[in-house]
Amino acid sequence: MRQDELAGAAGVGLRFIVELEGGKPTVQLGKTLQVLFALGCSVEITPPLEPLGGRRP
């Protein structure tokens, strides 16, 4: 898929796709998810097994 096609399918601009592929560290999460979903990807968030810092709530 070309960058312009992906941008259209995901509803984002071509510049966003170029920056995302280039590894820009400050891309918007919502737009990034739109691109991933347009590519057929899914995202899963798994909490750590141990709480951060070893503390319990």
Q: Domain segments of the chain: what residues?
A: 3-48
Name 40's Cβ contacts closer than 8 Å, sequence gap at least 6.
none
- Taking the C-alpha atoms of residue 34 and residue 14, their distance in angstroms, rounded to an integer, is 13
Look up the pTM and report it: 0.78
Residue 41: per-residue pLDDT: 97
**Tens of pLDDT along the chain (57 residues)?**
999 999 999 999 999 999 999 999 999 999 999 999 999 999 999 998 887 776 655
Enter the tokens of residue 56.
């319990």
Residue 57: per-residue pLDDT: 56
Residue 51: per-residue pLDDT: 76
Residue 52: per-residue pLDDT: 74
